[in-house]
Amino acid sequence: MSRLGPVITLTAGAVLAVGLGVASVIATPAARNEAANTAAEAPPATENAAEPTTEAQTAAPTAEQTAPKKIPKADYGGYVKGNGGLIALSVRDGKAIGYFCDGKAEAWFKGTESDGELRLAGFGGAKVTADLGGGRAKGWVAIGDHKWSFVAPTVVKPSGLYRATAIVRGAKLRAGWIVLKSPKGGFTQVGAAFEGDTQVPIPQLRGERPTAPVTVAGTTLYPKDVDGFIEEMQ
């Protein structure tokens, strides 16, 4: 509106002992004495004998091992510092969307997540960059000449991002909401609605039932959670 087999090592001394044992079966007494003297003079095996290299140790990394990791599913929401607005971010298998709103201005974003790095772009050069990890998204949102930082913790429903659209009198009616559960009880909400390019009043969603129908500009809208519209925004 930023993401392996045990190896059994035969020491040199052990190998030598096996060889001498086999030789003693067929050797003459003189040969046995000579072999015994040779064994006595041989230096002891060291513990640092080189271990054989296994196939698992030399195998090159597979494509699966080197491919960037993607977060299967995560939702974040929090306050934008220095602005007072809210930001919501959602990630689904590398696809990501975001929404910023302070009740007056709004911005939708879409992009990707990879290895915990989030990169989203919006209309007019607006963008969001964030690092994901430790149960939060931390980054920046830039809109026009303004840039603000944010830290958005992970959230679970009914907190999160909601959107509703319809065609009214030939114009597209769209509305977006961010819902965050308050630590003191209840919910904090912010949203904006537009009929074409004209901003219109927007009602609040029901805290525990945010997908319940609402009336915007005389039209009944059916809000969807992020899983209901993330694909159509890509």
Q: ∠152-88-196 over CA atoms, to 5°?
A: 155
Q: Can you give the residue ranges of every domain in the chain?
A: 12-59, 73-233
What is the structure's pLDDT at 9?
A: 33
Asked whether the predicted pLDDT for residue 80 surpasses 70, the reply is: yes
Query: Does the N-terminal peptide bond of residue 158 adopt cis geometry, omega within 30 degrees of 0?
Result: yes
DSSP state of 158: T
Pairwise CA distance, residues 99 & 85, whole Å: 11
Cβ atoms of 149 and 165 within 8 Å: the answer is no
Pairwise CA distance, residues 128 & 230, whole Å: 17
Pick 48 or 116 by higher pLDDT.
116
Pick 128 or 15 by higher pLDDT.
128
**For the segment 100-152, what is each residue's pLDDT rounded down to a tens digit?**
999 888 999 999 999 999 999 999 999 999 999 999 999 999 999 999 999 99
What is the structure's pLDDT at 67?
A: 73
**For the segment 160-211, what is each residue's pLDDT rounded down to a tens digit?**
999 999 999 899 999 999 999 998 899 999 999 999 999 999 999 998 999 9
Mean pLDDT within 14-34: 36
Mean pLDDT within 12-22: 34
Decide: pTM greater than 0.85.
no
Cβ atoms of 2 and 138 within 8 Å: the answer is yes
The token duo for 121 is 């772009």
